[in-house]
Amino acid sequence: MFGGRLKPRIAVIGAGIAGLAACRELAGHGRVTVFEKSRGVGGRMSSRRVEPWQFDHGTQFFTARKPEFRALLAPLLDSGLVREWTGSVVYLEAAERPRKRLWFEPHYVACPGMNALCKTLATDLHVRTGIEVAPLGARGPDGWELLSSAGESLGHFDLVLSTAPSPQTLLLLENHLPIDAELRSVRYRACFALMVGFAEPWRATWIAGKARDNPIEWIAAQPTRPGREMPAALVAHASADWSDANVDRDLAQVQQELSAATGALTGLDMNRSTHMALHRWRYALVDAETAATEPFIDMSAGLAATGDWCAASRIEDAWLAGRHLAKALLAR
């Protein structure tokens, strides 16, 4: 399959935590190149900096329940790159005082931004960012030739591994997947992220709030997160139901509605904000009822795929999914 090469040429598409976890397992066993269409690594662990604020507009935190993931985090906790996010978490309701909400396990953030964890995992890996890989054509005698969406040749590879969301993986591998591949039936929920910055300091006593029966489901106060020194700033995530129903609406209208909902929940005058932006995550959360049970592996074709679509949307589960696939490939 690998033309007699002791170390196969491996392409990993996607530099989120699942892709980087797979790369770290495979790095000593092949010549691995990671392709990421965004400008940096991280996927939904991305951070956006707009001076003087920084917004973790995707994943807000992660937990550690499995021994393997706790072992990964242990030295990072010692160094301060990962820290526990502590403080008062509340239920928010318009025109009502916040009510306490309990967290039953430690919640962690990477410092100074959530993407710091992925940047650390990418250390010493060959990562090419800003490159969108085109759908695969036919496999040739020298393996798979990857092309960028602009038609540039990215090289030939013996094994191509996609860790992109299942809809994007389907586009990449469509002509080479069996009709009954589990990832064909996976569905995602969308999420809008509203980012709001103010000139004054954050004065509320809570660090995050959960809302019910509202376009907004979650609001996080960014200055309360370890390693972030900034004036008041919020990230407000819309609920999956609301996001799905409004995913293709005009973004300016969506921003206006979510801004009004955020102001009503927090009591803040949104007209006093000095920065406001909206991000649409089309593939934010896997619909748990449609998640696949196993990654896709076709060793004879030199193709594989994994991601949160065969696990869950938690950061820990995505990391475990990438690691699991890499170990399964090495075992074969």
What is the CB neighbour count within 10 angstroms for residue 290? 14
End-to-end CA, the chain: 12
DSSP-assigned letter for residue 95: T
Amino acid at 117: L
pLDDT reported for residue 311: 79
**Rounded Cα gap, residues 296 and 193, in angstroms:** 31
Among candidate residues 132, 163, 168, the one with its CA nearest the CA of residue 149: 132
CA dihedral 32, 283, 61, 127 (to 10 degrees): 20
Distance CA 90, CA 215 (A): 17
Adjacent-strand bridge partners of 91: 99, 210
Beta bridge partners of 297: 304
User: Tokens standing for 208?
Assistant: 């995050």
**Could you give the CA distance from residue 33 to residue 118 in angstroms, rounded to a whole number?**
16
What is the residue-level pLDDT of the chain in tens, covering all 332 positions?
455 567 999 999 999 999 999 999 999 999 999 999 999 999 999 999 999 999 999 999 999 999 999 999 999 999 999 999 999 999 999 989 999 999 989 999 999 999 999 999 999 999 999 999 999 999 999 999 999 999 999 999 999 999 999 999 999 999 999 999 999 999 999 999 999 999 999 999 999 999 989 999 999 999 999 999 999 999 999 999 999 999 999 999 999 999 999 999 999 999 999 999 999 999 999 999 999 999 999 999 999 999 999 877 799 999 999 999 999 999 98
pTM of the full structure: 0.94
Q: How far is CA 196 from CA 114, 212, 273, in A?
A: 18, 21, 7
Question: What are the sequence ranges of the domains in the chain?
Answer: 1-41+122-185+290-332, 44-114+188-286
The pLDDT score that the predictor gives to residue 5 is 61
d(Cα 41, Cα 240) in Å, to the nearest integer?
A: 25
For residue 2, what pLDDT is reported? 52
Is 1-41+122-185+290-332 a CATH 3.40.50.300 domain? Answer: no
Helix (H, G, I), strand (E, B) or coil at 72: helix
Q: What is the DSSP string of 149-209?
A: TTS-EEEEESEEEE-S-HHHHHHHHGGGS-TT-GGGG--EEEEEEEEEE-SSPP--SEEEE
Q: At what angle do helices 315-331 and 67-79 cross, to 10 degrees?
A: 120
Which H or E run contains 120?
A: helix 115-121
- Are β-strands 126-129 and 275-286 bridged in parallel, bridged antiparallel, or unpaired? unpaired
d(CA 214, CA 272): 22
pLDDT of 265:
97
Q: How far is CA 224 from CA 205, 227, 228, 275, in A?
A: 10, 9, 7, 18
CB 161 within 8 A of CB 173: no
28 residue type, one letter: G
Same fold, 1-41+122-185+290-332 and 44-114+188-286: no
State residue 150's pLDDT score: 96
- CATH number belonging to domain 44-114+188-286: 3.90.660.10
- Closest to 279 measured CA to CA, from 255, 310, 306, 249: 255
